[in-house]
């Protein structure tokens, strides 16, 4: 047995995320990475078109980040951040983040990832409404196709049913409305309405149907990721903000993927000139070099926590909240992102990637190519006229692309691309070239 096969055999001892043994055959066993490239134990060199899981924005092998982790670990890797104690990196990072994403969000709570961030958001929304004397406002509206993570609340906020099937009964109070998908909107559209208006109306109708006095929050990814890279029409989010304000519903922006430059702005709701009440972040804050996520809350929400009695304290927190090493890595990563202006890189290189991917529309099975900044989706269809989604062909292309040394991610019928933001022009062109070659090979 080769060393590589030996690793594959041993790998069977761990349970992998979102696991079915049938889909975990012949895994890429990654040994190391550099920039946008991954090197596997069987000698492959692969362009990571997904930046890991949409997160390794600074690329692989960054010594500055390793050094930041090393220095902090040596000094003190961890200490409690629970009431009565704190540490310097978490103080500095929270200070740096105050007002960084959105003007009115000046308070940060740290968790270890996106699911914990969203659970923290849901609990904080409940807390807020209880403190405001409206304890009935517990329901959360999310969108079909959304992905918010896998803790129990986040699982049922997620609008992809396959994540629910084996984990019911469902947590009550989470409901889903159509997403503003310009290519295949599955809600109703009134004559003269845009898709953005129709999808926003779906929110208003859901709030009215449930009773505004029972709805506490609406959660949305500004650009939907796992649901197939759905870029909303420009009129959608401003209308959503108005509706949330009208019915006193907190707007939670799940920017776990879109945060920290990915879409061409530091945070994605900036594209539409609005801001959320609660922001969930994770992934790219450390470029995946340490496990860190969290929420930022509006000054008004903070006020309700600040002015509560002892008996109504915000009793929430994780052992690793404000983890010193992770926060030190986050700080260093933010420094790198600012120095290299990651939003500008995402804008410029994203334009190049999108234009390149659009040239593939000449293939009969490429139905739609879309993107914002450096997050793009290529949707595969069996018929361009009917737009019938074709996940089987998407999977074939995904596998063929991997043979051509390109890693993407098949999301239903859509192949996603979200490479590290340090990618250069030549490497962007390489994505298009390799994907084109993969499409040629399956056409043949
Ligand atoms: C939009 C969004 N929210 C939340 C999560 C969950 O984050 P984590 O896997 O770090 O718990 C993800 C993960 O991909 C995500 O894409």
pLDDT tens figures, 123-168? 999 999 999 999 999 999 999 999 999 999 999 999 999 999 999 9
pLDDT at 295: 98
What is the fold, at CATH topology level, of the domain defined by 77-339? Answer: 3.40.640
- The CATH architecture to which 3-61+341-443 belongs is Alpha-Beta Complex (3.90)
Q: How confident is the model at residue 23 (pLDDT cuts 50, 70, 90)?
A: confident
pLDDT at 427: 98
- Residues 308-321 have pLDDT tens digits of 999 999 999 999 99
Tokens coding 412:
């239903």
pLDDT at 26: 86
Residue among 116, 145, 148, 157 whose CB has most ligand 1 atoms within 8 A, to mutate: 148
Minimum-distance ligand 1 atom for the alpha carbon of 151: 11
Decide: helix, strand or coil at residue 163.
Answer: helix
Any idea what DSSP says for residue 383? E
With a cut of 90, say whether residue 187 has pLDDT above it: yes
Strands (E), 78-150: 105-111, 139-143
CATH 3.90.1150.10 residue window(s) in the chain: 3-61+341-443
Decide: helix, strand or coil at residue 307.
Answer: coil
Decide: helix, strand or coil at residue 93.
Answer: helix
CATH 3.40.640.10 residue window(s) in the chain: 77-339
Minimum-distance ligand 1 atom for the alpha carbon of 224: 1
Residue among 110, 111, 115 whose CB has most ligand 1 atoms within 8 A, to mutate: 115
Cα of first residue to Cα of last residue in the chain, in angstroms, is 34
- Residues 384-407 have pLDDT tens digits of 999 999 999 999 999 999 999 999
Q: How confident is the model at residue 3 (pLDDT cuts 50, 70, 90)?
A: very high
Query: What pTM does this model have?
Result: 0.98
Q: How confident is the model at residue 113 (pLDDT cuts 50, 70, 90)?
A: very high
């Amino acid at each position: 047995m080769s060393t590589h096969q030996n690793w594959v055999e041993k790998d069977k001892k761990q349970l992998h995320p979102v696991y079915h043994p049938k889909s975990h055959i012949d895994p890429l066993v990654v040994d190391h990475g550099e920039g946008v490239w991954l090197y596997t134990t069987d000698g492959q060199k692969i362009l990571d078109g997904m930046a890991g899981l949409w997160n390794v924005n600074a690329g692989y092998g960054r010594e500055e980040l390793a050094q930041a982790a090393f220095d902090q670990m040596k000094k003190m890797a961890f200490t409690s951040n629970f009431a009565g104690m704190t540490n310097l990196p978490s103080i500095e990072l929270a200070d740096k983040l105050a007002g960084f994403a959105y003007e009115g969000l000046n308070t940060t709570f740290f968790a270890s990832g996106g699911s914990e961030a969203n659970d923290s958001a849901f609990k904080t929304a409940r807390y807020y409404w209880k403190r405001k004397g409206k304890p009935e406002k517990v329901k959360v509206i999310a969108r079909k196709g959304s992905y918010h993570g896998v803790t129990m609340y986040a699982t049922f906020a997620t609008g992809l049913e396959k994540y629910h099937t084996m984990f019911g009964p469902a947590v009550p109070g989470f409901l889903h409305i159509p997403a503003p998908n310009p290519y295949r909107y599955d809600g109703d559209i009134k004559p003269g309405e845009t898709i953005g208006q129709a999808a926003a109306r779906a929110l208003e109708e859901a709030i009215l149907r449930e009773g505004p006095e029972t709805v506490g929050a609406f959660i949305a990814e500004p650009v939907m990721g796992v649901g197939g890279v759905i870029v909303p029409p420009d009129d959608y989010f401003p209308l959503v903000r108005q509706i949330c304000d009208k019915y006193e519903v907190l707007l939670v922006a799940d920017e776990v993927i879109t945060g920290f430059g990915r879409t061409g702005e530091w945070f994605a709701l900036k594209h539409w000139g609005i801001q959320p009440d609660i922001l969930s972040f994770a992934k790219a804050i450390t470029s995946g070099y340490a496990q860190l996520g969290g929420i930022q809350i509006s000054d008004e929400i903070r006020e309700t926590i600040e002015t509560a009695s002892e008996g109504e304290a915000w009793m929430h927190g994780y052992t690793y909240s404000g983890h010193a090493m992770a926060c030190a890595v986050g700080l260093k990563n933010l420094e790198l992102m600012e120095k290299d202006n990651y939003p500008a890189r995402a804008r410029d290189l994203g334009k190049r990637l999108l234009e390149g991917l659009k040239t593939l529309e000449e293939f009969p099975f490429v139905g739609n190519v879309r993107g914002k900044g450096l997050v793009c989706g290529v949707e595969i269809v069996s018929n361009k006229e009917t737009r019938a989604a074709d996940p089987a062909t998407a999977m074939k292309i995904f596998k063929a692309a991997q043979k051509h040394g390109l890693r993407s991610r098949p999301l239903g019928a859509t192949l996603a691309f979200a490479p590290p933001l340090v990618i250069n022009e030549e490497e962007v062109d390489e994505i298009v070239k390799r994907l084109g070659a993969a499409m040629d090979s399956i056409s043949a």
